[in-house]
Amino acid sequence: MNKKEIFDTDFFESGLAYILTNLDFIQEELEQENLQTNLLKKLISDFEDIQEYETWDALTNNLIQAENQILEQILKIKDSTKFNLLNSYFLAKNLAIYLKSNSFLIEQLEKLKSNSFDDLSEDKKEEFFNNLKQEILKNNSELYKQNQKLFNEIFEKKVEFKKIYQLLIKENEFEDFNYANELLFNMLNNNSKFNDKQDLLKLEVLNNAQSLIDFLNFYESSLFDNEEE
């Protein structure tokens, strides 16, 4: 499968749906708080109207460039909604990056001979998911290795956080990574106010890894829903 065919895959469509779900949630919550959403609305509209994969990288870059303005609005919220909105932005942004033309996700997709998952045999489906899960775990392991210094302060305060974080670097079970990473989210939320760049960077690292986990679960769920229909 070449990159021009990727746009028509259910895999890519699921990724786009996941991104839009998160961006729509941010827009709705900001509107309830009477905060600025014009830029976000424009980005959502552009993602909804995308017609070809060749424009994906540029559109993703626009989302990245809008980060400061979007976060500025989110950070005006003082209750627990702020944490959820920050997560939604970082999840959407990082998955969009992982769907860019030079990512390992796209490389895995290019290995498929069909642009429809339904056309694959059951063995090929299982092989595809297992391979992708292992690639995601390798990616996340390297991500956490590279960012250990960022978490040194919380490592010193929370031994349990450090223990789980370091275990995740070696984790080779997809579901176990998902569960343990959620524990890190909860601990980080309980020990951070997300009012400075360092806290936001920590949160983004966790969401960077989680975006891949969530997306694959989202994709698998959509396939099962289609089979039931």
Residue range 45-65, pLDDT digits in tens: 999 999 999 999 999 999 999
Rounded to an integer, what distance in angstroms lies between the CA atom of residue 149 and that of residue 222? Answer: 37
The whole-number pLDDT of residue 203 equals 98
Q: What confidence tens digit (pLDDT) does each residue in 87-118 have? A: 999 999 999 999 998 899 888 878 766 656 66
Length, in residues, of the chain = 229
pLDDT band of residue 226 (cuts 50, 70, 90) is low
Q: 223 or 193, which is more confident? A: 193
Helix H segments across the chain? Answer: 3-6, 10-32, 38-48, 56-65, 67-74, 81-98, 104-110, 122-146, 152-157, 159-170, 174-191, 197-228
pLDDT above 90: residue 173: yes
Mean pLDDT of the chain: 91
pLDDT band with cut points at 50, 70 and 90 for residue 149: very high
Its pTM stands at 0.94
Residue 122: its pLDDT value, please? Answer: 78
Residue 186 pLDDT > 90: yes
Q: Is the dihedral of CA 65, 178, 181, 80 positive or negative?
A: positive
Which of 49, 52, 44 minimizes the C-alpha distance to 19? 44
User: In the predicted model, is pLDDT for residue 229 greater than 60?
Assistant: no
Q: What b/e readout covers 154-185, taking b as 16+ CB neighbours within 10 angstroms?
A: bbeebeebbebbeebeebeebeebbebbeebe
DSSP state of 212: H
The tokens for 184 are: 């890190």
Is the separation of the CB atoms in 137 and 177 below 8 Å?
A: yes
User: Once rounded to an integer, what is the mean pLDDT over residues 115-140?
Assistant: 83
Q: Tell me which of 6 and 118 has the higher pLDDT.
A: 6
Q: Which two tokens stand for residue 83?
A: 């944490």
Tell me the two tokens of residue 141.
Answer: 């392991």
The helix/strand/coil state of 95 is helix
Q: Would you say residue 6 has pLDDT above 90?
A: no
